[in-house]
A and B are shown apart, each in its own frame.
Chain A
Amino acid sequence: MFSNLAALCRYRGLIQTLVVRDLKARYRGSVLGFFWSFFNPLMLLGIYTFVFTKVLVGAHPGEMEPYALFMLTGILPWTWFASSVLESSNTLIAGGNLIKKVLFPAEVLPIVTVLANMVHFFLGLVILIAFLIYYQRPIEGLQLLWFPAIVLVQLIFTTGLALFLSAMTVHFRDLKDLLGNLVQFWFFATPVIYPMATVPMDMRWLLNANPMTHLMISYQEVLFFEGPHGHWQWLMALGVASIGVLLFGYFVFDRLRDSFAEEV
């Protein structure tokens, strides 16, 4: 397993090329092209902003103003996570030709999916920066140093999950349908469109058990709320757990690897 993991470093060039291919291919032949990366989060943002500021007025506390900015800090990383999970579950089946006909390191496929979606996330950050400047939110430079750490933890966690799910989907094809529902449930079980502060105390344990909660709180504390990043201990703990998830995901993937060429 570890020798395979080490071999992964050799595929850097391949992964890089495939991520670029993925991005290019996705936007080629569409009119708006690469602006779709902005369009999707903006669309979501528009919907939720309308619902929570015009329809359900007063459903959120004042600390969440400006609400659009609050939402954006959560929706962008969530979109990265959700798309990665959903797409990676199908990636081995879609890339069946490569696995069956070419000597190809299969783990590259889910990893490429996660990374391509990470690039989208980075592109979306441009909008976030524009909002931050528009609302003139003060960002403490020191707090910003946490940002790469949060991204890294999310990357490790998502990759582990993507490896696990992509391998399992080869054997259980309906997993990807199930995931669609699961991800939606997961979205509302994570403080993305509401802050943790509004969650009743007796329900907090449930949200604390959700790894994505801590990532979202961290993003919000660093980018939205003023004051220090008080959630860093949770983040570190999640970082360690994520490495566990990655190793587990890779272990499962490695165990099932030989079956891919036959089952895909």
Chain B
Amino acid sequence: MTPAIDVINVSKVYRRYAQKKQFATLKSAILSGSLLGDLRPEDAFQALKGVSFSVPKGCTYGVIGSNGSGKSTLLKCVAGITRPTEGDVKVDGRISALIELGAGFHPEISGRENIFINGIMLGLTKKEIQRRFDEMVDFAEMQEFIDAPVKTYSSGMYMRLGFAVAVHVDPEVLLVDEVLAVGDQSFTHKCLDKFAEFRRRNKSILLVTHSLDLVEKFCDTAHWLKKGVTQGEGDPKRMVAAYVIDVEDTEEHALAKAEAARVAAAAKTVAAAPDAAAESDPPSGSLDPESGAGPEAAATQGPKDGFKSDEGRWGTREVEITNVTITGPGGDAGHVFQSGDAIHVRMDVHARARVTDFVFGLGLFNADNVCVYGTNTSLEQFRPTEIEGAGVVTFTIDRLDLVEGTYRLDLAAHKVDGYPYDYHRLLYTFRVKSKIRDVGIYRPDHAWSFGGGIKISDQK
């Protein structure tokens, strides 16, 4: 059986023209004396590089990838809107593309007339439209307004009508580009039902989306694109997982880079004025119990100066925190973790001379700068004896029970009375990812149970 869509080694190069020639005009072309020169590209951008896949009939095929990975270009090539620079696309049967809904609606004329025009543009005959007209209007929930000019429609109505026409074209192949966000919940469900019906009737769907859930639930196969290159193709769950890991990697790089820059900047300010930082009344650490500015005190008294101050680093460096790494369950240093992971925060410390009065502390803040948790060795009843030379402090969280978001860490070494040796304020960042979209600051370990007349099923 021939596949519904066959994409063979497709590449697409977009030509980019030099900035000054962006608005090419005949006048400028004649003045610069090069009619043809202006039409010659200065630069090329490769949106797709040798992408191949085929979609069997009746298959729902998902394409995932970050912004700019070439998904939409791919869809346009399949739809025939643009032609691939190299390679070939074969489509068997009528295509309907849900790329831009309601493209071609004329604002001045009524919804009814627009349905006919749009239907004909999508390849229906007048009779076919007549037959499906009521179905389309019902689907779009537009009975009341169908004779009003389209310019009076809300954007939701506009999209719904466009969607209704496009899915009732009865295509063999349906191309969908991120258009499910058009209606309220009930309309989205209707759309999904419509897709399910397509599948039952052995039609093919090519779906481009950022909604990974949808790909996992609906697609038979997923295709992962990155910068125009195929990264993988196969089982949706596996592809989505691979894609998510890659995204985390990218975020990881970004976080690591930003953090390195922050730490370097902080180190510079300390190097410039170490004495000033030590002698002026230092912003007392929030992790210092005896000054009354510990985490519990902060919660009742409101933040002190140190609490409000931005990221930075101060202290005398008698005990210096030389390096900080956060490691995940695999033991690799990282910045992106799953909720529930075990993580270790490791501080390499160094004391130039023997120090007997020292406390190590840690504060965890969420993106709103709310202290999620703070503690130190003094609060937890460790009595310092001495430190000299290099040492290692590891703070282990067995389960990172946090909701999804970005968190920042304070790390500090100071005297019991709060006198800072080396205070790292909000210098370290990590991101927590979660499949569950719960909210709040803290996720207690929890379970649901149901009894009596409740029937409920676990979608996990």
B50 at the interface (CB under 8 A from A): no
Instruction: Report A68-105 CB contacts with B as 1/0, cut-off 8 Å.
Output: 00000000000000000000000000000111111110
A55 to chain B, nearest CB (A): 37
**Chain A contacts for B411, CB-based, 8 A:** none
Q: Write out, one digit per residue, whether chain B residues 121-151 have a CB within 8 A of any chain A CB (1) or not (0).
A: 1100110000000000000000000000100
Q: Give the interface residue-count category, chain B.
A: 20 to 34
Segment at the interface with A among B98-106, B198-206, B288-296: B98-106
A24 & B113 in contact (Cβ 8 Å cutoff): yes
Chain A count of residues within 8 A CB distance of the other chain: 26
B120 to A28, Cβ gap below 8 A? no
Q: A202 near B: Cβ within 8 Å?
A: no
Residues of A within 8 A of B79 (CB): 103
| B64, CB-defined interface residue at 8 Å | no
B100 partner, pick from A21, A101, A258, beta carbons under 8 A: A101
Q: Does A175 interact with chain B (Cβ within 8 Å)?
A: yes
Contact of A262 with B by CB under 8 A: yes
Q: Are A18 and B117 in contact (CB under 8 A)?
A: yes
Which A residues from 15 to 56 make CB contacts under 8 A with B? 17-18, 21, 24-25, 28-29
Residues of B within 8 Å of A172, CB to CB, are 24-26, 29
Q: Which residues of B contact A97 (CB under 8 A)?
A: 100, 103-104
Task: Check: B455 CB closer than 8 A to any chain A CB.
Answer: no
Q: Which of B150-209 contact A (CB under 8 A)?
A: none
Q: How far is the CB of B349 from chain A (nearest CB, A)?
A: 58
**A14 in contact with B103 (CB, 8 Å):** no
CB distance from B19 to the nearest CB of A (A): 16
Indicate whether A25 sits within 8 Å of B106 (C-beta atoms), given known contacts A17-B116, A97-B100: yes
Check: B231 CB closer than 8 A to any chain A CB.
no
A174 interfacial contact with B, CB 8 Å = yes
Of the candidates A14, A24, A28, A172, the one having the most CB atoms from chain B within 10 angstroms of its own CB is A172
Chain B residues positioned under 8 Å from A231 (CB to CB): none
Is B109's CB under 8 angstroms from A98's CB? no
Other-chain residue from A14, A24, A28 in contact with B121 (beta carbon distance below 8 A)? A14
A174 cross-chain contacts in B, Cβ below 8 A:
25-27
> With A13-B125, A102-B81, A262-B14 as given contacts, are A171 and B24 in contact (CB-CB < 8 Å)?
yes
**Are the CB atoms of A101 and B120 closer together than 8 Å?**
no
Interface residue? A204 (CB, 8 A): no
A256 to B126, CA, bound (A): 31
B23 touches A173 (CB 8 A): yes
Q: Do A17 and B120 touch (CB < 8 A)?
A: yes
Q: How far is the CA of A25 from the CA of B121 in the complex (A)?
A: 17
Tally of contacts, chain A with chain B, CB under 8 A = 74
A173-B100 CB under 8 A given contacts A13-B126, A21-B106, A21-B109: no
Q: Which of A98, A103, A175 contacts B26 (CB 8 A)?
A: A175
Does B99 lie within 8 Å of A101, measured CB to CB? yes
**B262 within 8 Å of A (CB atoms):** no
**Is B80 interfacial (CB-CB < 8 Å)?**
yes
* Distance A14 CA – B116 CA, assembled complex (angstroms): 10
Tell me if A261 counts as interface (CB < 8 A to partner B): yes
Decide if A145 is an interface residue (CB 8 Å cutoff): no
Knowing A13-B125, A258-B82, A261-B76, the reply to whether A21 touches B117 (Cβ < 8 A) is yes
Asked whether B390 is an interface residue with its Cβ less than 8 Å from the other chain, the reply is no
Q: How far is the CA of A98 from the CA of B162 in the complex (A)?
A: 13
Supposing A17-B116, A17-B117, A97-B100 touch, asked if A261 and B82 sit within 8 A by C-beta, the answer is yes
**Any B CB within 8 A of the CB of A203:** no
A178 at the A/B interface (Cβ < 8 Å)?
yes
Q: Once the chains are docked, how many angstroms separate the CA of A178 from the CA of B120?
A: 35
A28 contacts B108, CB within 8 Å?
Answer: yes
- Asked if B26 and A178 make an inter-chain contact with CB atoms under 8 angstroms apart, the answer reads yes
Task: Give the contacting residue for A98; candidates B14, B103, B125; CB below 8 A.
Answer: B103
Query: Contact: A100 with B81, CB < 8 Å?
Result: yes
Query: How far is it, in angstroms, between the C-alpha of A173 and the C-alpha of B22 when the chains are bound?
Result: 11
24 contacts between A and B (CB under 8 A): A13-B125, A14-B120, A21-B109, A21-B117, A24-B109, A24-B113, A28-B108, A28-B109, A29-B108, A97-B103, A97-B104, A98-B104, A101-B97, A101-B103, A102-B103, A103-B81, A103-B95, A171-B24, A172-B26, A174-B25, A178-B26, A258-B82, A261-B81, A262-B82
Q: State the A residues within 8 Å of B (CB).
A: 13-14, 17-18, 21, 24-25, 28-29, 97-104, 171-175, 178, 258, 261-262
Other than A13-B126, A25-B108, give 13 A-B pairs with Cβ distance below 8 A: A18-B117, A21-B106, A21-B109, A24-B109, A28-B109, A101-B97, A102-B103, A102-B121, A103-B79, A171-B39, A172-B29, A173-B24, A261-B76
Q: Give the interface of B toward A (CB within 8 A).
A: 14-15, 23-27, 29, 39, 76, 79-83, 95, 97, 99-100, 103-104, 106, 108-109, 113, 116-117, 120-122, 125-126, 149
Top 8 closest pairs, chain A to chain B, by CB: A101-B100, A172-B26, A101-B103, A174-B25, A25-B108, A97-B103, A261-B82, A28-B108
